[in-house]
């Protein structure tokens, strides 16, 4: 055990952010207790506390690498449980001007799996570690701290039978989602909330799961239909999940919300820019109801700018940065954050107080992880209705991205680079490297006006 021997950590929330954080902490604390307000079932079932859990999720290549580092063997166990491996050559991408975009094997792969199964497998592996304890049906009501705001001391939570209990902790990780508990702690300790940046996209989407038909197309596993922005925001994604099923999510922005009944859902799918998804599912058998979800904005909280931060408190995941779910980045970013947390704890093992300054170091280190997905989220400013601070050079960025897409269609190496950035394997700046920018500029200069 490291220099934190004898110390106790509490993780609020048993979603993927909390599970990844718990695994990162387990090598550095004697006891890690995960408190979850929902019942933790003995199978892969959705939880009421995660309303988006029934929607399409992806474990991007970058997230898969991070989880493998934190939880060795998880990739194999997920595939054994039914997760479907997706390679770049399995994806039919339909985007304006390219129906489809070149479908190539670029040597990259990731997993398509329902979120309940991903959480269940991750939780089962974590349970094998003797110093990680899960307590379901425990709703944390308050993060406790010293009145002067210098440190947190634990949490107060309520059990299913109404009992209120206190759990002391040296470190409290808020992985509950939106950061409400951390913000309440700031208020009680007289600390200001962090600055927040928002990209108001008002995305609404509906999801349905179908049995995969016996006569399903064999030349793709995944279909992605991109809209003709900014005039149209309707897009869709079909992907395989465990038990030989398809999960299909369709949505729109700024009030263009898909219906919640099957007839309306199929009618909405039929209005997508291409018919590929509709043709695939029109006669397929649904396995459950239509599930709807709405997210007003992507948001980024600038904890890194706070002048004072209590020792022993650490928000993670969506509490720091919440992304447009269309890009499928949230779980992968949370896993990458947990890898950074683990490395910081390893690096601080020789310090007198390894928790002193941990939060500020963590917030500084994760900025590089956040920059790429946040930069991708900026593409939502293509819609004039999008709220927020539109980058001054947005038109130039848009022009560059058009050229990059055209170049990627011609050159597999650029196509692969685009995938690597979108899957959080490389920073977004790699797309603007001088040699790439020069080729994009030449291509655009030679294109017809």
Instruction: Report the predicted TM-score, pTM, of the whole model to 2 decimal places.
Output: 0.94
Residues 12 and 93 in one domain: no
Q: How many CB atoms lie within 10 A of CB 195?
A: 12
Tell me: pLDDT of 159 over 50: yes
Residues 269 and 173 in one domain: no
In this predicted model, what pLDDT tens digit does every residue of 411-438 receive, in sequence order? 999 999 999 999 999 999 999 999 999 9
> What is the pLDDT averaged over residues 367-389?
94
pLDDT of residue 431: 95
Tell me: pLDDT of 52 over 70: no
Residues 58 and 179 in one domain: yes
Residues 208 and 255 in one domain: yes
Residue 389 lies in a domain: no
> What is the pLDDT averaged over residues 53-58?
72
- What three-state secondary structure class fits 243? coil
In this predicted model, what pLDDT tens digit does every residue of 65-74 receive, in sequence order? 999 999 988 9
CA separation for the pair 9, 26 (Å, rounded): 9
The residue segments making up the domain with residue 232 are 84-113+197-296
CA nearest neighbour of 277 among 377, 335, 207, 371: 207
How many domains does the chain contain in total?
3
Q: How many CB atoms lie within 10 A of CB 356?
A: 14
Q: The domain that contains 68 carries what CATH number?
A: 3.50.50.60
Residues 51 and 172 in one domain: yes
> What is the pLDDT averaged over residues 205-217?
95
Residues 73 and 92 in one domain: no
Q: For a pLDDT cut of 70, what percent of the chain falls above it?
A: 97
Residue 1 lies in a domain: no
Residues 148 and 184 in one domain: yes
Residues 111/59, Cβ–Cβ less than 8 Å: yes
Residues 90 and 218 in one domain: yes
In sequence order, the 6+-apart residues with CB closer than 8 A to the CB of 127 are 134
- 4: confidence class by pLDDT, cuts 50, 70, 90: low
Residues 97 and 126 in one domain: no
pLDDT of residue 41: 87
Residue 119 lies in a domain: yes
- Could you tell me which residue, 53 or 250, shows the higher pLDDT? 250
> What is the pLDDT averaged over residues 435-442?
95
């Amino acid at each position: 055990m490291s220099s934190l021997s004898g110390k106790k950590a509490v993780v609020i929330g048993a979603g993927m952010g909390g599970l990844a954080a718990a695994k990162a902490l387990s090598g550095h604390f004697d006891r890690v207790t995960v408190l979850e307000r929902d019942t933790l079932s003995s199978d892969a079932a959705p939880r009421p506390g995660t309303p988006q859990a029934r929607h399409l999720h992806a474990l991007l290549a970058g997230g898969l690498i991070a989880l493998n580092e934190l939880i060795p063997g998880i990739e194999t166990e997920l595939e054994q449980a039914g997760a479907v491996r997706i390679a770049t050559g399995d994806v039919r991408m339909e985007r304006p001007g390219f129906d489809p975009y070149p479908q190539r094997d670029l040597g990259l792969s990731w997993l398509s799996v329902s979120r309940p199964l991903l959480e269940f497998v991750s939780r089962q592996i974590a349970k094998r570690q003797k110093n990680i304890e899960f307590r379901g049906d425990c709703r944390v009501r308050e993060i406790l701290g010293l009145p002067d705001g210098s440190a947190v001391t634990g949490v107060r939570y309520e059990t299913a039978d109404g009992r209120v209990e206190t759990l002391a902790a040296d470190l409290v990780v808020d992985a509950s989602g939106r950061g409400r508990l951390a913000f309440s702690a700031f208020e009680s300790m007289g600390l200001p909330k962090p600055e927040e940046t928002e990209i108001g996209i008002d995305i609404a989407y509906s999801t349905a799961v179908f049995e995969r038909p016996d006569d399903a197309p064999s030349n793709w596993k995944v279909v992605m239909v991109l809209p003709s922005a900014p005039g149209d925001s309707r897009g869709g994604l079909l992907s395989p999940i465990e038990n030989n099923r398809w999960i299909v999510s369709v949505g729109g922005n700024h009030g263009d919300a898909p219906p919640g009944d099957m007839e309306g859902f199929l009618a909405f799918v039929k209005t997508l820019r291409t018919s590929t998804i509709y043709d695939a599912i029109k006669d397929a058998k649904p396995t459950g109801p239509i599930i709807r979800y709405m997210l007003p904005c992507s948001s980024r909280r600038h904890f890194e700018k706070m002048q004072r931060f209590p020792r022993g408190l650490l928000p993670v995941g969506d509490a720091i940065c919440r992304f447009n779910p269309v890009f499928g980045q949230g779980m992968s970013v949370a896993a990458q954050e947990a890898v950074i947390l683990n490395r910081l704890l390893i690096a601080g093992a020789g310090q007198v107080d390894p928790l002193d300054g941990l939060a500020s170091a963590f917030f500084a280190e994760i900025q590089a992880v956040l920059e790429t997905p946040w930069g991708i989220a900026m593409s939502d400013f293509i819609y004039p209705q999008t709220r927020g601070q539109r980058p001054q050079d947005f038109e130039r960025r848009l022009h560059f991205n058009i050229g990059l897409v055209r170049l990627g269609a011609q050159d597999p190496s650029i196509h692969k680079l685009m995938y690597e950035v979108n899957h959080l394997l490389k920073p977004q700046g790699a797309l603007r490297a001088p040699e790439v920018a020069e080729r994009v500029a030449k291509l655009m200069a030679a294109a017809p006006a």
